[in-house]
Structure 1
């Protein structure tokens, strides 16, 4: 079978197309014929030697994907050959199981049945972005641990970076769950995307804009929860918009600005600062998130494409290096690799 591999860390050029034997599933595992592989920032960061990298090991990149089960190992229940599925964290602690190959074997707990009517592109796009968004939306002290219609009724959610993949999923899931959603973006084009995703209000940042004042003009009492992609750059803004006992769920620090806190301000708010990384959150929470994500997909509340506020960029398997470079260079939207025909 065709596979993309790398045996050293570095730039996207370390990725190469090769042939590997088709793997066999062991107990509690399924083999997936991959149709689409999703690329996330975590994939190029791992390839570059970051969290999850295993030095000296031939690795196959990409954690998310979708396809069809074509073999199951002993003890597998609830899934069968022929099932259309999506998978997330395929390569976590399993360097050879990434989705940038024609077949991969993964533990059954990482696999979710793709709802009827949902395409393979959507299946490959939801894993880490929607899982991260779900976690961010369910960590507030007095908030829900699961998402569904009504779960966030009466809450105000501020989504920083509303045109990105996680931001888009956060907007859609929060809107589905009943929240009032405010998104921040850096351009008019991104504002249009956040609006298409379902944000009730969009605030531009940059150019000296006072984001905190703009948010307070919309919701004078402040926001309950911030889904944060640039913790350092937005630390002061978040302190200025958060309600007492509010939560900032931090899943990235884009821009790498130092995360300097005004301790007195956050302490006065009794604020919760919650860091979000799916790799160590626990499979019980990830399974719950996957079930809620599937419910949103089945309800038509979680979509991709320009009309859903998430641009999609397609690459072929032999263009995986270019796909990684696109994500690393900050492509707006979702990068997908078509591995095989559906």
Structure 2
């Protein structure tokens, strides 16, 4: 029978079936690190033995510093809710990393600006992020208000899966409790933030799948302090579409948009149509992606994978 992975732990998996929550049994010697919350698997109805993982439509993953294999975040996600707040937590460079991650995975990114009720006017916060990517949906809300579920309903209906990502303290757990209409004794724990820098502490410690009141599913994730980019060339091209589209007009096909003559991208900066800070953030993410993305070398029958190292 089909079962959806609801949580992944070091030595066990749990899932959701039409009959409710089930504890799954892995084949002897199998590891859990090949499964992501949101995966679909086929299991034996009587024994709950996992027989096969079904193909994923989308996969959110990241490479941790020093890690040889990517860390799986969530699978089969339709919409990625990138949660930040109307305070000092908002960081456009960090939001661009999440957007590139969503783009590469093939999910639809939506930026949620929480704690809009705690500022006089959320419009400046909204304006700061609306231009980060073309056709980007940006929603301001109070994560604890029932109205938040109504506003987000278009992405949360039956057959839809959303994942929540963002820093600790931005209101992900509060928003999940609202979307899932959880009773107080079932609610995800929430925590406060430091007034000095709006940083929160981790209240969610593992990824988990939850039913949404309007029919969809939500995947909650722990706060991510550092999001390294790798394997996201296509995601960056979509994020920085204005630079991607100008690049073919440069005199040199391998233009780095930093010092070469005849650079169409630098010309746009000079003309004031492309902010210098935006170009600098593109350059930083591009270099980081090149440095962190493994490449295969060697002959066809003797290939090895290595990190290329920093490029100039």
Structure whose alpha-carbon radius of gyration is higher = 2
Confirm or deny a common fold (TM above 0.5).
no
Which protein has greater RCO, CA pairs closer than 8 Å, 6+ apart? 1
TM-score (norm 2): 0.35
